[in-house]
Amino acid sequence: MLDLSRERRRMVDVHLSRRGIHDGEILAAMREVPREAFVDPGYEEFAYEDGPLPIAGGQTISQPYIVALMLEMAEIGPGDQVLEVGTGSGYAAAVMSRVVDHVYTIERHAALAETARRRFQKLGYGNIEVRTGDGTRGWPEAAPFDAIVVAASGPGAPLALQQQLDVGGRLIIPVGDDPDEQRLLKVTRTGASTYSEEDFGGVRFVPLIGEQGWREESRPGIARTMPLARPRSLPEMIAAAAEPLLDVDDPGFAEAFDRFADRRIVLLGEASHGTSEFYRARAAITKRLIERHGFTVVAVEADWPDAAAIDRYVRGRGPSPGADRPFQRFPTWMWRNTDVAAFVEWLREHNDKVKALQPQAGFYGLDIYNMRGSIAAVLEYLDRVDPEAARVARERYGCLTPWQTEPSTYARAALTKGYRECEKAALEQCRDMLARQLDHAGQDGDELFDAAQNARLIASAERYYRTMYYGGSQSWNLRDTHMFETLERILGARGPNAKAVVWAHNSHIGDARYTEMGISREEVNIGQLCRQRFGDAAALIGFGTHAGTVAAATDWDGEMEIKSVRPSREDSYERLCHDAGIERFLLDLGRDPKLRDRLTERRLERFIGVIYRPETELHSHYADASLARQFDAFVWFDETRAVTPLGPEHAAGGMPETYPFGV
């Protein structure tokens, strides 16, 4: 059910204040007055869209922005006495009544006047008087007025209304004889018989009928007109469609993401590997999907053996004998940071509470890099369950041993005959582990699944590092295909109803077919493969930022630095979001077809990984993309800050001293 009070706040935040309405009294009044009470039955759900709506008598209720603009132009304030010409639904008069001392409003349609009067009474707005009659004559006995607002277009500003202004009073009226566009005029009384005028641009209103307006028989040839706003810019379109988000730490932050709860897979991106807001937002969304909607898989762009150590911890299985502390390999800050540690602690507490009632949520790594850790995990398992198999595995893996710590160097030796045999050995070991998995199904499922996946990783990693030697797109495709297949296997292991949340970089979860990756380099990624395999059951959600700080290195295997993120380029998607003027928001790219069409146009998008080089940012970190085809939704944080890596000080502050994030 639509939360109209929330939509009212959104209307004020997005359609008004972000578009230049700054009068605090008017904004407060529009937060208070329920616009749904002033629309015809059946239109309530549209009450807070920024558009006019039809009412009886061929009239309209003006769009919220035009109401706010005219009232701000009129400079209304406490203690004022105001005249409105054209009561219509009564909404504008109701808003004014929350600001000024007294409102007089005239409507020529008796039925509209009576309906408005009943609405005011029901809402308890006792400082509004309604009259049926010719508004062009004004309300002489109540004059002078501090402001007069006319909600219909006349051939000029009626003399009677000008004369009923107090000195210093303002008359706001659309004027002109063109049925398609009039000019919004502000007339200020400067003396007993002197006035000044200001033109505020094009609008479109119903005609002002009356003695000093249009005659009924000579009215402009339009049956129903609506306010005409200038064509909205793309940032304004984004602002209108964006759903402002609460602070990440607010319990209500993740509510907006309930719309994706029916998906099998929700993929949550990030525009860098070192931004706190991205990690904290993904954690908040994931917590809600786990607690409220039955998700049991958290699959991340991390190495399988390292994530397996976290999984053992959060599911209360105890550390694996002889296992290394997780996430010791570059870039350590990507997963060894305070935001991830806080989420891991929450996941453990959640699993402790639900383990007797429902399936626990697991934490899994999808990535391919940690060949050394995977070999160790396979051998540790086999040492316990089958020492002879462990001896055979050691022989098979022996040819990889010199490169376990820095496996990318393996590619340089992979062209020799002896080392080409490693591929065969790794594949044989993988097949043996898979056969063992089938033979022992149901006996020690989690342990065996972990070891079998490590065997798969070794075989994939062998191909990956060898392929790196040649360059091109093949190594990327091997890596992302491995991650996708790992995700499929995790879902299969967790059961037919398992649902997963994936944490990975935008470059992995945004459909590659609509980025420079797929178009120019023929690369695939997890997002594309998920869409092709799961269709609408997969939701691809990107994240972005304009400026701030980020944790990153200058070179691979370099020291982590806190770097300033340059403000986004003017020709980028990020600049469009920044210019929308909203601090943080969710942009559902399926809600507004016109906006979606505009956001399919290719433009630059920023990608910061573990390396950030601001001095060559255009070349190093921007690529062409089609945002609306790449993602189903986009989460925006205008200014962000770097993650905080775990250090010795965190062990003393309540973190486990040795497991899983021992420092």
Please state, in angstroms and rounded to a whole number, the distance separating the CA atoms of residues 273 and 333: 9
Show Cβ contacts of residue 240 under 8 Å, excluding neighbours closer than 6 positions. 14, 15, 50, 232, 592, 595
Give the helix, strand, coil percentages of the chain, each rounded to 5.
45, 20, 35
Please state, in angstroms and rounded to a whole number, the distance separating the CA atoms of residues 89 and 427: 74
Task: Give the single-character DSSP code of 89.
Answer: T
Catalytic residue (one of 5, 17, 62, 507):
62
Q: Would you state the structure tokens that stand for residue 212, as one six-digit string?
A: 């000093």
Tokens 């009232």, residue located: 71
Please state, in angstroms and rounded to a whole number, the distance separating the CA atoms of residues 430 and 433: 5
Show Cβ contacts of residue 114 under 8 Å, excluding neighbours closer than 6 positions. none
| Helical pair 445-468 and 417-439, crossing angle rounded to 10 deg | 160
Q: Which of 140, 24, 153 is nearest to 76 (CA)?
A: 24
Tokens 């210093």, residue located: 168
Please state, in angstroms and rounded to a whole number, the distance separating the CA atoms of residues 155 and 611: 64
Please list, residue by residue across 487-505, b when 16 or more beta carbons sit within 10 angstroms of its beta carbon and e when fewer do: bbebbebbeeebbbbbbbb
Residue 79 gets the label, from left (phi > 0), alpha (psi -120 to 50) or beta, of left
Concerning whether 153 is annotated as a catalytic residue, the answer is no
Please state, in angstroms and rounded to a whole number, the distance separating the CA atoms of residues 99 and 149: 14
Tokens 């091109």, residue located: 472
- The CB density around residue 140, as the number of other CB atoms within 10 Å, is 10
DSSP per-residue string spanning 387-435? HHHHHHHHHHHGGGGGGSSSGGGHHHHTTSHHHHHHHHHHHHHHHHHHH
Residue 240 gets the label, from left (phi > 0), alpha (psi -120 to 50) or beta, of alpha
Q: Which of 396, 402, 403, 329 is nearest to 367 (CA)?
A: 329
Q: Which of 592, 590, 591, 594 is nearest to 629 (CA)?
A: 590
Please state, in angstroms and rounded to a whole number, the distance separating the CA atoms of residues 608 and 523: 18
Please state, in angstroms and rounded to a whole number, the distance separating the CA atoms of residues 270 and 283: 12
Please state, in angstroms and rounded to a whole number, the distance separating the CA atoms of residues 542 and 503: 10
Active-site residue list? 62
